[in-house]
Structure formats: C-alpha cells, structure tokens
Amino acid sequence: MQSNSRFLMIKEYNSLPQVLTDRKLASLGDAYVNFVYSLALSQRRGKPSGTKVKGTALAEALRKAGLRENLPSRIDKHVISDAAEALLVYAWLHDLVTLEDSVEILAKTENLVEGLTQLLLKVKERIRLSGLFPARC
C-alpha cells in the first residue's frame, strides 16, 4: 500500500499492529503527544504550560478505545503506552487527524484518560474510514 504520509521518512505499514508496535514511531509519538497535551493545557489555563503524559494514562486510554486487542497478549504497560503514542503520531502524519483536532479534544476534557480515549476513538474511526488497513480496527 502506498504511504499517504507527507513525510517521506515514514515507512509503509500493512496492518494496524505494525503501526502499534513500531518503537521508532512510538519515540516520535512521545514528543507529539506531550506537545499536543501541553498545548491543550495552555489553552485551558490561558497561559503556556508544558508537561509530559504518563504512560499509565496512555495505556488505559488505548484499552478503553478497544485497541488493545491489536497487540500481542503478553506485554507490559510501557509497550501499550508506546502503541498509543505510535498510533497518534501515525494518524497526524497521515492527515487523519489535525494538531488542532487533537488539542481541542484534549482541552475540552478535564480527565486526561477520557480525553486520550476520545482522541484514540476518533483516530480509530478515521483509520477505519480511510481503508488504510483491513477492517480489524
């Protein structure tokens, strides 16, 4: 499948599990998620704020969004949180969700896990509609 990414360094993926388990993509996703959440907090507070998103919040949100089933059964919370980060940056890189959409979703919810869950559900739906991967999503 031809990559729809505007960034040529992003490799092509044949399945959602390939995206979720890509450690390098997760590393980029870590920076992206922290940036998006920092922007959301800044918007909510009305002043610049920088923070890091805890892996436990990402792992719980991935489970709540029904995406855990796309990962191997015996993995720890760190790998699950990496999967959420990889998926979120993948969606942004492929224009499935905008930075503005992501910030808006996280800014409107006080509960971080709930905001991340809503964002992951939006990404899940956009991937399903895009036809990038088989309908397992």
Total domains present in the chain: 1
For residue 122, tell me if it sits in a domain.
yes
pLDDT of residue 1: 39
What values do phi and psi take at 15, rounded to 5?
Answer: -155, 160
pLDDT tens, per residue, the chain with 137 residues: 344 556 656 788 889 999 999 999 999 999 999 999 999 999 999 999 999 999 999 999 999 999 999 998 889 999 999 999 999 999 999 999 999 999 999 999 989 999 999 999 999 999 999 888 865 54
Residue 42 in domain:
yes
In a domain, 49, yes or no: yes
Residue 9 belongs to a domain: no
Map residue 70 onto helix, strand or coil.
Answer: helix
Q: What is the pTM of this model?
A: 0.91
DSSP code of residue 47:
S
What's the CATH code of the domain at 56? 1.10.1520.20
The amino acid present at 39, given as its one-letter code, is L
In a domain, 52, yes or no: yes
In a domain, 106, yes or no: yes
User: What is the rounded CA–CA span in Å between residue 80 and residue 85?
Assistant: 9
Task: Report residue 60 as tokens.
Answer: 């719980």
User: Where do runs of H (alpha helix) occur along the chain?
Assistant: 16-20, 23-45, 55-64, 77-93, 99-107, 112-130
Which structural domain, as residue segments, surrounds residue 49? 16-130
pLDDT of residue 20: 96
14 contacts 131 by C-beta, under 8 angstroms: no
**121 within domain boundaries:** yes
Asked if the structure places residue 4 within a domain, the reply is no
